[in-house]
Structure 1
Amino acid sequence: MLRKYSNHRTNSDNIKLGALTAFSAGMVNVISVCVFFAFTSNITGYYAVLPQEIAKGNWYQAAVVLLWILLFFSGSLLSNLLIIHGKSRMGQYVSHAIPVILELLCVLFVGLYLDFFYGDSLQETEFLVGALLFAMGLQNGLTASISNSVVKTTHLTGLTTDLAILVSMFTIQANRSNKALVDKFHLLLSILGAYFAGGLLSGICYVYYHNFTFYVACFVLLIIALYDFYKLARVKQLFAHRKRAFAS
């Protein structure tokens, strides 16, 4: 899921990547709304809030929103830098897994801070929302980069539009037999369903377990980071076994 890059990926690889990362994005977005009353899986709305605050002369609020946008941008930038420059030094899987680990650490930090340090101040809330936006930037940059922009899981506006286009195209018989279009439809539907399921689980968990929901999201991210680890270890083990058998 993480060890393949760009055109070497199959539709199955992209569905696994899209579904799992969309699930975690849905969880993070819903829990951030529950705790901070702020969306963190995308920044579209903040591009509307920023000029509004500037027009009102609310310079502090405008600076905070601008910082949030820059944090999302920075997360995506860092993710792509790690993928582009880390592949030759650390290997493809490791360079792809590091952004997920960094995202996990950001979400874990927010959960721990809420449990042990949070004083419910506005500045703390702004800081923690920024941390989650940075985490979502990391994820969006990773999924878009390694899938050649096929998989984007933190923002569903474009995805919903693409689904509508595909549904309209499927009114023509020939398109319903087009494997590329059908594969794309399955991918988008998987992302949409997983995002909703993650958000639903997050909402239910928050009702009963409150901030523990952040740790559940971390567990999902850990699964994403380690998903390919067993396969890689198994391949190395089989290769070593065949090498010994050939030598003997």
Structure 2
Amino acid sequence: MINKLPRWIFWGGAVLAFSAGCVNTAALMGFTRLSVSHVTGNVSLFAAALAHFDVSSILFIGAALLSFLAGAILSGFVIGQRSLKLGRSYGRALYIEAALLLISYLLYQQHDYLGQLAAAMACGLQNAMVATYSGAVIRTTHLTGLTSDMGAAIGNWLAGRSISKPTLGFQAIIWYCFCGGGVVGAFLYARVGYGAFFVPITIVLLAAFIYNSASEHLPEMRKPKQ
């Protein structure tokens, strides 16, 4: 359980959740009508496509699922261990994510379905990058598990059992930030189309720059010796 949350994790999780919410809503409102930030619903659509022998949907949705997985694999390759720790290559992973989002925007502008795959890969990378801290699972691109964890914590609290209030508070922040990002993504997509992607691209680039700058100037953020 989280007893005290470092600021870099708090702000990082919040802004990345906002970014993912914006990306996912813009993707859903676009011509593909398919989520990029989570897998469960897409697996259900994939199963339905299999049941109806819809070959085009099977191939496209299957490719989107594999792209999310590929992003998570890339995150593991770049960063390494799953637990959050200062000094790891988060900045490099964030720059890669920003590049994937930019590629996605350019492809979406051409109505190229490969844009969906680039966006899904970016989300898979981000979701795997922010994994665990002090035993608490942290996810920033979807809310199913997080909502379940929040509900269980609230139930324990109502029953008079002790809970980690910092953990619950952080989960609530992630929830609201993802939702807020979705609102902004929908608002911007209705006005500038896929130009809405420049909000998450900017957020991710700034997060990478700030993290790298801080890790260069603060001894406690420098990469630990192997």
TM-score, normalised by the number of residues in structure 2: 0.83
**1:58 equivalent among 49, 54, 61:** 54
Q: Report the CA distance shift for 1:95/1:233 in structure 2 as closer, same or farther (over 3 A).
A: closer
1:17 aligned partner: 12
> What is the rounded CA distance, in whole Å, between the counterparts of 1:56 and 1:228 in structure 2?
47
TM superposition shift of 1:103? 1.2
User: In the TM superposition, what whole-angstrom CA distance separates every residue of 1:158-210 from its partner, at most 9, and x where no partner exists?
Assistant: 111111111112224452xx5xx101101100100110111111122222332
Q: Matches of 1:226 and 1:210 in 2, distance apart?
A: 27
1:106 and 2:100 are equivalent in the alignment: yes
List alignment gaps of at least 5 residues for structure 2. Answer: 220-226
1:42 maps to which residue? 38
| Structure 1: runs of 5 or more not aligned | 1-6, 86-91, 237-248
Aligned partners of 1:78 and 1:138 also within 8 Å = yes
Rounded Cα–Cα distance in structure 1 between residues aligned with 2:191 and 2:56:
35
For these two proteins, the number of residue pairs brought into alignment is 212
* Shift, 1:148, TM fit: 6.2
Per the alignment, residue 127 of structure 2 pairs with 140
1:31 paired to 2:26: yes
Paired with 1:190 and 1:219, the residues of 2 have a C-alpha distance of 21
Spell out, residue by residue over 1:61-103, the C-alpha distance to the aligned partner (whole angstroms, 9 max, x if none): 2122222111111110110111129xxxxxx746222221111
The answer (yes or no) to whether the contact 1:19–1:194 under 8 Å persists in 2 is yes
Q: Which has the higher helix share?
A: 1
**8 Å contact kept, 1:15–1:191:** no
Aligned-residue CA RMSD (Å): 2.4
1:215 maps to what in 2? 198
Give the alignment partner of residue 230 of structure 1, picking from 205, 210, 213. 213
The aligned residue for residue 190 of structure 1 is: 173
Per the normalisation by structure 1, the TM-score is: 0.77
Identity %: 24
Q: Tell me, what secondary structure is at the counterpart of 1:155? A: coil
Separation (CA, whole Å) in 2 of partners of 1:173 and 1:77: 41
Q: Distance in 2 between matches of 1:213 and 1:32?
A: 10
